[in-house]
Amino acid sequence: MNTPRGARRTDTKLSDGRELIYYDPADEPSRVPLEDTRGLPAPQPQIELRTDPLTGDVISYATHRNTRTYLPPADQCPLCPSKPGNPTEIPDHDYNVAVFENRFPSFAGPGRTEVVCFTSDHNGSFTGLSQGQARLVVDTWADRTAELSARDDVELVFPFENRGREIGVTLSHPHGQLYAYPFVPSRMRTLLAQARKHQEIAGSNLFADVLAAERKEGTRVIGENSTWTAFVPEAARWPVEVHLYPHRQVAGIDELTRDERDDFAELYLDVLQRLDGLYGEPLPYIAAWHQAPVRIDRELGYLHLEVLSIKRAADKIKYLAGSESGMGAFISDTRPEDVAETLRKVGQ
């Protein structure tokens, strides 16, 4: 089948019943998926959700994740295409983008967790993707967002990427994840509460006003095109923090137009290349999409991507110590305007 934006989608099943979906450019031949011959047993995840009575935060206990694959050698990577002697989560011999249900999920019935493989190249990175390949990933995120948002047990769809050992990555193959939360996480509830307060006082959308202020002030903007702007936020928490906003308020990735998807891919690749040039080596980061919840306060939300790094210098890591971990009060060693200026110079 074809996704709404033209990428070709091919659905199949892994040997234990989990879904696997291939996304290919629409102009490529139709894919005939190969069979997963591993004979895996049906997954039996051990998951329990509890709510903290002091904060209202929902905590997921997924004890089976302790046994998940941890930094295997390249020739045993479970995200690479299958080869003789190494059957993987991807039975085919090659792929463009592949999505499958996580074998070690953080949520499952309710909710869902998926793995998104950005490329079949084990030694690649999102930064090194062509613009066309990056755009295919955007179409994949959009299709998954639309489908997962239609589920009765999903309240918010969260695509993200963890990159680098410093972040805690357990598989080095270029990939991200999708968490379809069965609840609205605390961070999003905090953002929406602030947006609601701003709407009542100013009569306008908080995120739109933040974007307008950053574009007008200009000193923290590091790149923009006709439909997107990338900037370091005025009150950045992390040593390196860049936000990417579309100029038009939309609730989710699936609502972006073709031009907006093209422009995002172009600007995001530029931002990632600047980040990798910051210290002359691949920067560890978390890239976190903020989409509006599925059912509540959608009118308050504003799709944007936040890219965060804990690296505060070439040889130093920002640890979340007493104030940050104990009280949630961040103390930063870097000034947002200085980070923005440095990132602009990297591009020169």
Q: What is the pTM of this model?
A: 0.96
Q: Cα torsion for 151, 156, 162, 166, to the nearest 10°?
A: -130
Domains in the chain, CATH or no CATH each: 1-348 (3.30.428.10)
Active site residues: 175
> What angle do helix axes 258-278 and 336-346 make, rounded to 10 degrees?
100
Q: Alpha-carbon distance 88 to 101, whole Å?
A: 13
What does the pLDDT profile of the chain (348 residues) look like in tens digits?
Answer: 445 456 999 999 999 999 999 999 999 999 999 999 999 999 889 899 999 999 999 999 998 888 788 789 999 999 999 999 899 999 999 999 999 999 999 998 899 999 999 999 999 999 999 999 999 999 999 999 999 999 999 999 999 999 999 998 999 999 999 999 999 999 999 999 999 999 999 999 999 999 999 999 999 999 999 999 999 999 999 999 999 999 999 999 999 999 999 999 999 999 999 999 999 999 999 999 999 999 999 999 999 999 999 999 999 999 999 999 999 999 999 999 999 999 999 966
Binding-site residues from annotation: 77, 80, 122, 173
Residue 302, C-beta contacts closer than 8 angstroms, at least 6 positions apart? 195, 205, 206, 207, 208, 211, 245, 249, 250, 251, 290, 292
Q: What is the DSSP letter of 175?
A: E
Q: Is the four-CA dihedral 268, 270, 274, 276 of positive or negative sign? A: positive
Q: What is the DSSP letter of 73?
A: -
Locus of tokens 């009569």? 203
pLDDT one-digit tens code per residue, 101-120: 999 999 988 999 999 999 99
pLDDT one-digit tens code per residue, 234-245: 999 999 999 999
Binding-site residues from annotation for Zn(2+): 77, 80, 122, 173
